[in-house]
Amino acid sequence: MAERTFGQIPGYPEGTTFDSRAELSEAGVHRPLMAGISGNARDGADSIVLSGGYEDDKDLGDEIVYTGHGGRDPRTGVQVSDQALRGGNLALAKSSLEGLPVRVIRGSRHASPYSPESGYRYDGLYTVDDYWHDVGRSGFLIWRFRLLKVPTVPSAAERVGEGRADYSAAPRRETTVLRVVRDTRQAREIKALYDYRCQVCGTRLEGPAGPYAEAAHIRPLGAPHDGPDTPDNTLCLCPNHHALFDHGGLVIEEDLTMTGAEGRLTVHPRHRISNEHLRYRREHYRAPEEEPRPAARTTT
DNA sequence: GGGCCCGCAGGG
DNA sequence: CCCTGCGGGCCC
């Protein structure tokens, strides 16, 4: 078994097309012949294929919301039970935690303006920006992974000796920056209100240029969550608790007690926090009930 | 080795 | 078009 390779495969630049899954596998661009996700729980996911069939997928080009696997009838492809954070799904979550690049391949059967006319096409590297669970069209629990394109910069080797005509001939999509700028005026005001102390642990980080804290959104900004950039959707957190919150390891209950941290969330009298947004976060990011958390890996 | 999976070809 | 049988590679 060849070792798993993350990032671009030498000899197969972005835009390379393949006739079949067998060719993709042979090239090492996406090794499994049928599965959509290549990877494991330990190392993360190195590639995925969008080939249609998953009704909850969203493809906006530079942003993809990819559906995890599992819970489908193998014959019909119909979702008949809940998905779990296992196998390839866990691999993609691992890639998110580690910030690993995922090769994305689109197939012609995937209904999207970004799909190739025929066969499969390697479309570059993406990062797994976020993952959460949702109720899919089928009514069953699905895991969802937001992938964002890593902007492609031509390497020095590619630039050297490259004629202008060649450059203009290369098909390049315009890259849309989808990230919302997070530190708005209201975010700064919330941080000032708490004097840069974490609402979870009270930590105040002080550097020579001043204090540092992060504004965390409770209901995430951007589709499909569409949380607002408003004070009632913003928390002032230290980097550790921000990361823990984003990855579902810190849950704020309705009474402001916390799962994953001691005590109760500190809330300033002049800071109203939306219960609705807190509920949204719990519903989509907390580990599902029947989902046993994977055993933590210890480094020895 | 078992079970899973965003194939694929072939036939109706 | 839809359905069926037969799959290879890989994770666990």
Q: Residues A275-285: pLDDT tens digits?
A: 999 999 999 99
Q: Give domain status of residue A178, yes or no.
A: no
Domain boundary pick from A133, A149, A165 = A149
Q: Which nucleotides of C are covered by protein (CB under 7 A)?
A: 3-4, 7-12
Q: Determine what percent of chain A is predicted with pLDDT higher than 90.
A: 77
Residues A32 and A145 in one domain: yes
Tell me whether the omega of the peptide bond preceding residue A154 falls within 30 degrees of 0, making it cis: no
Which residue range is the domain that position A107 belongs to?
A: 17-149
- What is the Cα–Cα distance from A264 to A268, expressed in whole angstroms? 12
Q: Determine what percent of chain A is predicted with pLDDT higher than 70.
A: 86
pLDDT of residue A169: 32
Q: Which nucleotides of B are covered by protein (CB under 7 A)?
A: 4-9
Helix (H) or strand (E) holding A125: strand A120-135
Distance, angstroms, CA A34 to C1' C11?
13
Q: What is the dihedral of CA A198, A248, A61, A8, to 10 degrees?
A: 100
pLDDT of residue A294: 47
Give A63-117 pLDDT, tens digit per residue: 999 999 999 988 888 899 999 999 999 999 999 999 999 999 999 999 899 999 9
Confidence of residue A223 (pLDDT cuts 50, 70, 90): confident
Number of domains into which chain A is organized: 2
The single residue listed with the structure tokens 């989902």 is: A291
Closest nucleotide (C1' vs CA) to A41 is C11
Phi, psi angles (nearest 5°) of residue A107 = -105, 160
Q: What is the mean pLDDT of residues A13-24?
A: 96
Q: What is the pTM of this model?
A: 0.84
Closest nucleotide (C1' vs CA) to A53 is B6
* Residue whose Cα is closest to the C1' of C8: A33
List Cα–Cα distances, A49 to A12, A27, A119, A170, in angstroms: 16, 14, 12, 23
Closest nucleotide (C1' vs CA) to A25 is C9
Q: Give domain status of residue A2, yes or no.
A: no
CATH classification of the domain holding A27: 2.30.280.10
Q: Give domain status of residue A169, yes or no.
A: no
Strand B contacted by A144 CB (< 7 A): no
* Residue whose Cα is closest to the C1' of C9: A32
Domain boundary pick from A100, A127, A149 = A149
Residues A104 and A51 in one domain: yes
Q: What are the residues with a C-beta under 7 Å from any atom of nucleic chain C?
A: A 1-2, 4, 25, 31-35, 38-42, 75-76, 86-87, 90-91
Q: Give domain status of residue A74, yes or no.
A: yes
